[in-house]
Homo-oligomer: A and B are copies of this chain.
Amino acid sequence: MERFSFSTDIRIRFAETDAQGIAHHASFVVWLEVARVAYLAASAGGYQSIRDRGMEALTTEVFLRYHRAAYFDEMLRIWTRCTDVRGARFRYEYRIEREGEPIADGHTSHATVDRETNRPTRVPKWLVEAIARAEASAG
């Protein structure tokens, strides 16, 4: 059974809708990123602090399954957890809800690279531990 330790709320912008009258499916990909940034801010000093230490996290995979349309000005809750931190790779899982109703779910995969050389670099120990602590507190 899935357990999520963390959530972020976003309000759907008008610019994020399309001519079908719903939130465009690419907008969700941006929201997942907003959720990751919020997750790292809460658990590991923020994404910028990771960038400041000379690393970048590249996105290597995005998967989204859309269950229901979402509309302008609605508030969505993005449940987020970090899993499978291994070597230079890690993964996030997401569940997007509107007042408890499932709207979409998915995952993203990432690789950490050195900012200068652009080569894979292990997720540093402090970050592995910060994520482990964040997820343990979800227990």
Of A56-64, A81-89, A91-99, A121-129, the stretch lying at the interface with chain B is A56-64
Chain A 1-34 per-residue mask, 1 if CB under 8 angstroms from chain B, else 0: 0000000000001110111111011100110011
Cα–Cα distance between A22 and B57 once the two chains are bound (Å): 12
Q: Are B66 and A64 interface neighbours, CB within 8 A?
A: no
Pair B73/A66 contact, Cβ less than 8 Å? no
Instruction: Give A37 to B75 CA distance when docked, in angstroms.
Output: 13
Q: Are B19 and A22 in contact (CB under 8 A)?
A: yes
Total count of chain A residues near the partner, CB < 8 A: 35
**Does A65 lie at the interface of the complex (its beta carbon under 8 Å from any beta carbon of B)?**
yes
Q: Do A37 and B69 touch (CB < 8 A)?
A: no
Asked if B29 contacts A14 (CB within 8 A), the reply is no
Q: How far is the CA of A61 from the CA of B106 in the complex (A)?
A: 9
Q: How far is the CB of A114 from chain B (nearest CB, A)?
A: 13
Complex: chain B residue closest to A59, CB-CB: B25
Kindly name the residue among A17, A18, A21, A30 whose own CB sees the greatest number of chain B CB atoms within 10 A: A18
Candidates B19, B48, B62; contact of A62 at CB < 8 Å: B62
Please name the residue on chain B nearest to A115 by beta carbon: B20
- Chain B residue numbers with a CB within 8 Å of A48 are 72-73
